[in-house]
Amino acid sequence: MEAELTMPVQLDADLLQTIAAIRDVDDAYLQRAQQRLDSLTKPLGSLGQLETVAAQYVAWREEDPPRICRKAVYVFAGDHGITDEGVSAYPREVTPQMVQNFLNGGAAINVLARQTGSDVVVVDVGVDTEFDRTSPLLHRKVRRGTRNFAREAAMTPEELNAAIRVGMQLAEQASAEGRTLIALGEMGIGNTSSASAITSALTGGPVSGLTGLGTGIQQERREHKAAVIEKALRLHFGDYRSIKPEPLEVLRCVGGLEIAAITGAVLGAAAHRIAVVIDGFICTAGAAVACAIAPNVRSGIIAGHLSQEPGHRVLLASMGVKPVLQLDMRLGEGTGAVLTFPLVEAAVRIYNEMATFQSAGVSEASKG
């Protein structure tokens, strides 16, 4: 099958302006943070990844002492036309049903957010239904679900820009509200197919090795799902493993509206120096696109956990990001990201409150 002729996506001027505002981490802040951690009453590096997270947070926020204020998880929801190909165990009607569950406070993400003292912000970017306009849902619908990317591009360039803008604007609002640490989550039946397609296109890895069981499909359907994704990638990009398609075009052709919003949220948060905890495979796909077009965002990303989806490990490795938790989770919603909040808070408290060798009158280790 011949590939469709595609042109690189052109981002709107305001989106480009946000990307231009993203700075890399200042090495001076990173060095000062590490010096502080090394001065605390413990063997060097003995708190492991807690120290890494503390130094990262301090350097990214450029605050000393660092603060964590008004934690929130943003759950972006959207439907996927690829479900027409029979790639999911659940019908797409589950997406709006779960959105309502979020709004009612009955989902796993609601429970974990209450446990960690975090706000839950639910955003309709592309659910294939019309919700009650009086509900607490943020109504940011770009369209009612993506197109079936096995047959045509999931989004037009205009729709992609609009979905990215949703995430960017919410990050800007988060900054205005004084939030310093946010988590990103998602809901969308069929979105692991998009995540696998994005991962394969960005990394050049084989679809068969990057496609998992999603919402719990059987092996036969997993093989069908991988075949559908492989065929779709060749439709849009031809020999995609050799040519390395342009990241935004990958997102447009095989991504999701909620994934594009996550890309925008990562970019927008980075422009405002908000630290972002990403969730699992689908969130990481959106974050990976953000890293590909604006590499400086990587320094502000904390990977909450390692999902059971096989493509997640590959995608995180390609980004150079190490997950904090490994709990064999694959739910989504932002659950793994929110579970990481207490560890980020613990890392910052260690940084702020632990005594130094000098202040405690404790002898340091001898050199050599």
pLDDT tens profile 247-256 = 999 999 999 9
Confidence of residue 76 (pLDDT cuts 50, 70, 90): very high
Tokens of residue 268, six digits: 């927008």
Tens-place pLDDT, residues 265-318: 999 999 999 999 999 999 999 999 999 999 999 999 999 999 999 999 999 999
pLDDT for the residue numbered 368: 62
Q: List the one residue out of 191, 209, 259, 224 whose CA is nearest residue 85.
A: 224
Tens-place pLDDT, residues 205-235: 999 999 987 777 788 888 999 999 999 999 9
Percent of the chain with pLDDT over 70: 97
In angstroms, how far is the first alpha carbon of the chain from the final one?
Answer: 64
Under a CB-based contact definition with an 8 Å cutoff, are residues 325 and 304 in contact? yes
Q: DSSP secondary-structure letter at 325?
A: B
Question: What's the helix, strand, coil split of the chain in %, to 5?
Answer: 50, 10, 40
Q: Omega before 342 cis (within 30°)?
A: no
Higher pLDDT, 147 or 7: 147
Q: Which residues are catalytic?
A: 333
Confidence of residue 4 (pLDDT cuts 50, 70, 90): very low
Confidence of residue 243 (pLDDT cuts 50, 70, 90): confident
Q: How far apart are CA 156 and CA 146, in angstroms?
A: 10
**Is residue 1's pLDDT more than 70?**
no
Confidence of residue 365 (pLDDT cuts 50, 70, 90): confident
pLDDT for the residue numbered 297: 98
* Residue with the two structure tokens 């479900």: 83
Average pLDDT of the residues of the chain: 95
CA 228 to chain centre: 24
Q: How far apart are CA 236 and CA 252, in angstroms?
A: 10
Tokens of residue 292, six digits: 């590909």
**Is residue 9's pLDDT more than 60?**
yes
Tokens of residue 297, six digits: 């965002």
